[in-house]
Structure 1
């Protein structure tokens, strides 16, 4: 997903994560301050920013992708879904800045501020459960299901490429996706549309990568050279093939 590429990458110094200031930094820090004031303590806290660098607090714990045995446990999956729900609820009142500068294009209707990249590598775990969400650089206004669709894609995962032991079959992926949605509390009448939302989300990601590369982004040029866009397009095909099975499975009890 979109990340910094101007200046040095994130640096940990004296308990703070430093990274280059970007056009959306003001909104991201205002968001972090808003959810902190709302009682959400599972996100980094803003430690200020200037024209060169932004600083946020570091959350102690472990992170990684589904190749991490702990990260693919059901407990981590469901605790991550619970964290996302609490974060969404806290961000729902952050509407005055919905038209500000964000890295990703806002997606109406503006129900919450989507995290934008709610994947295992952006969740911190401790003692076998998810305790923090990091990297809000891709945050942007949108509907809950826009964020949930990408989260389910990453956490189920609804992919033949994001493979890990015991979750390579579509049946197991659907079961994990359903556990995520059940814990989040997504109503049944919003679940059938999720496969199509995942497809739209991935197509949007590919378009973003290609546009950034065309405008001179070295990072996205490298990503495309390495075939990342082809992976996402292949997963779009995978989800289309299993669309009806996924939609039905997400409704099962």
Structure 2
């Protein structure tokens, strides 16, 4: 058990987990039903030599998980919206996927969520939003918050990431720095840097549409149980998903042309 220290700095960002604080060079987070599975994954990544994730240090006297603190910045910033940043993120995700090789791809212990219909081939992060990517010296070097990780396909995790980073969203819902970017060109750039094969590129937008449909249903169900999911839903999460799906319907042909 890791001793609890007194000086705690609240860490903001993200939508679901409250009570995350920094204590020295550690992060303390409330545990959940998926914490044992997440810790097993993080320990596997450490054994595999993947440096882009926090290390598990244990549990403190208040029953919170204790992870290493990864210095840097997150969120949508000038340095995070460049082509170089997007290419770096694609390589980071590819390295992470490769590092999950050998980890059990069973659904037991994970929080779950929307998913692909095909058999899982990786343990996906499934929530690689700008708040969950850490930049240092202008380069994305680490990912945090694995609470929504689960067995899935590489392509589903790519689609989930591009939802936020291309972004596949109605311009009205994009952060200002992402509002006027060429989404099709960014889809192509990310796929090139990751190494997404042609057969998967042809299916990418189809899977994005499926993810919108299923994410809407999953989020609506979780919102009915209350908590932060309800706050997100009340804040318009469902409407944003619907607008993103409608935007994709209008622009699918031009986006597909970039991919194939």
Shift of 1:218: 2.2
Structure 2 residues not aligned, in runs of 5+ = 1-13
Corresponding residue number in structure 1 for 2:176? 164
Cα distance in 2 for residues equivalent to 1:40 and 1:74: 23
Shift of 1:114: 0.5
Shift of 1:124: 0.7
> 1:201 aligned to 2:211?
yes
Corresponding residue number in structure 1 for 2:67? 56
Structure 1 residues 194 and 110, CA gap change in structure 2 (3 angstroms): same
Deviations 1:89-124 (A, max 9, x none): 0113112x5232111246541200010111222111
How many pairs were matched up?
Answer: 242
Shift of 1:52: 2.8
- Please give the TM-score of this superposition, normalised by the length of structure 2: 0.87
Deviations 1:131-185 (A, max 9, x none): 111111110001100100011111111212214347525xx11111111110000
Cα distance in 1 for residues equivalent to 2:79 and 2:176: 12
> 1:243 aligned to 2:243?
no
Q: Do the aligned residues in 1 keep the contact of 2:81 with 2:178 (CA within 8 Å)?
A: no
In the TM superposition, 1:21-170 aligns within 5 A as 21-49=31-59, 52-65=63-76, 68-95=77-104, 98-105=106-113, 107=116, 108-159=118-169, 160=171, 161-165=173-177, 167-168=179-180
Q: SS of 2:258's equivalent?
A: helix
- Please give the TM-score of this superposition, normalised by the length of structure 1: 0.89
After superposition, the CA RMSD in angstroms is 1.8
Moved more, 175-184 or 104-113: 104-113
Shift of 1:3: 2.7
Structure 1 residues not aligned, in runs of 5+ = none
Q: Do the aligned residues in 1 keep the contact of 2:124 with 2:150 (CA within 8 Å)?
A: yes
Structure 1 residues 164 and 173, CA gap change in structure 2 (3 angstroms): farther
Structure 1 residues 207 and 2, CA gap change in structure 2 (3 angstroms): farther
